[in-house]
Amino acid sequence: MLSRSIKYRYNYKPISSNFSRLISSSRVTENSQKFPLNPCINEILTNPPSPNTKIQVSGWIKASRISKNVAFIDIVDGTTHQDVKCIVRPPSLLPETLNTGSSIEVSGVWSEGKGKQKFEVQVTSENEGKVDVLGEIEELYPLQKKNHSIQFLRTIPQYRWRTESLASILRFRSQVETNLVNFFNKHSFIKTHPPIVTASDCEGAGEMFRIESNSMLSNKKEEEKFFGKEAFLTVSTQLHLEVLCAALNRVWTLTPCFRAEESDTNRHLSEFWMLEAEIAFTNSLTEITKFAELMIKSTVEMLVENKNNEGSNLIDTVDKSIKDQMTSRWEMLLSKENWDSITYTEAIEILQKNVQDGKVKFTYSPVWGDSLKSEHEKWLAGEYFKGPVFVTDYPLEEKAFYMKINEDKKTVACFDLLVPDIGELIGGSLREHDLQKLTNEMIRRGMDPKPLEWYLDLRRNGSMPHGGFGMGFERLLLYLSHGENIKDVIPFPRNVNNCIC
């Protein structure tokens, strides 16, 4: 044992003034050093050059119109829904291989527009203007100068994001994720990265993809496992997120999740992105529902206020017939100071009464103890409350083993957020933090606690009340963009019988 009289000496020295000056002088600012990339169209339109400035624009041809004395080219580059219009005189400056969809580089003079556009690029012989084709288009290129059905576009995943409306969805995904990062940072959450490969079935439904190495399978070593045990693609990162929550207090993630459901509906995917958050030191389900509400509203406010052109990115690119419906949906989400909240029992009573009164008919009868069907969820949110509604305290037998059991011993402290037209958007709960209660519930359900000893350890050492929620990221995007199919808000949809590339 070391003697207490031993004194530890640290060779700590303050940072030298020379080093401080070195750090200070190496700081890069926009004014001190030119940005290494050429300006994209979004940057050009956000901070337009002075008129009569020489400029170079790169992108793809959105449209072209050529007459005897002049040609017009509209260029896009994907960074914004807006285009740059180029006036070419004489048209002979255009290469013969130029077509809609070609990638090009245009050199000309930035000028004030003479038509609807504020600015345009003048490409003339006098100003040494030039149009170079960087990538030509094949004769059978599938994106022609016409409207293509969304069903057709799904068959060409390598091209479909070049269309105006679908490109706006990818920008929208990026914008929403950025807003969520800022929102969680503002509330002292730490973004974490739980694993995609797991040995645990968080949901308990068994709809998981098993994974194994090709070498193990080809050599038929059935008794050997790459990970030493059965491993799966995760359906939810919640259990691992609780581990991180026990160290960092407030954590969240946006992670790919996988479900082996053999369903091909307009709101199901086999691979999707799940936003999950876990909050320590809370005993209140209301705190969690209010936080989830605030999260959604903060995203919608960015659309309504058109921060960074987030609203116009969608409004200017969607079919005009749904523009008003989409913006009305945004306004509906912000119209109430507090979203409605009812218990599962109250929800069943509302459904049963309206069925008895002949006001509504369902394919599945609402019965206490059964899960709410999609038709029930959509009717409650869309017809009865006409807006978002939290449904809390579902039956114990309908929910997962880790949820905190209420005092009635029949329900658990959980919630689903229902929204019109889609139904469930978010699901969450308080987690059982008492070791004995959690172990007893696992045994009652016939579960073997041994594979989850690591999870139970959280309750043995430093346990605390906590809770959280999960939200399908694509469902949020689908709802806010007023889309019809969830396959059109994810770059490469994966579902049963569908993995084109």
pLDDT averaged per 10 residues in sequence order, the chain, 501 residues: 43 56 57 77 94 95 92 95 95 91 95 86 91 93 86 93 95 97 98 93 72 74 75 93 98 95 83 97 98 98 94 92 94 96 98 96 96 97 97 96 97 98 96 98 94 96 98 97 94 89 84
265, two tokens: 């509906």
Q: What does the block give as tokens for 418? A: 């229902």
Token pair belonging to 3:
């003697």
Residue type, 277: A
Lookup result for tokens 């994810």: 490
Radius of gyration from C-alpha coordinates of the chain: 28
Sheet strand arrangement including 231-233:
197-198, 231-233, 210-211
388 close to 335: Cβ distance less than 8 angstroms: no
> CA-CA distance, 486 to 473, in Å (whole number)?
10
- Express each pLDDT in 259-298 by its tens digit: 988 877 787 899 999 999 999 999 999 999 999 999 999 9
**pLDDT of the residue at 18:** 63
- At 78, list the tokens: 């994907």
Lookup result for tokens 């945004």: 330
CB atoms < 10 A from the CB of 437, how many?
13
User: Rounded to an integer, what distance in angstroms lies between the CA atom of residue 417 and that of residue 293?
Assistant: 9
The residue type of 82 is Q
CB neighbours of residue 153 within 10 Å: 19
Between CA 161 and CA 63 the distance in angstroms is: 17
Measure CA 157 to chain center: 19
Smallest Cα–Cα separation from 391: which of 380, 407, 375?
380
Q: Among 378, 379, 372, which residue's Cα sits nearest to residue 393?
A: 372
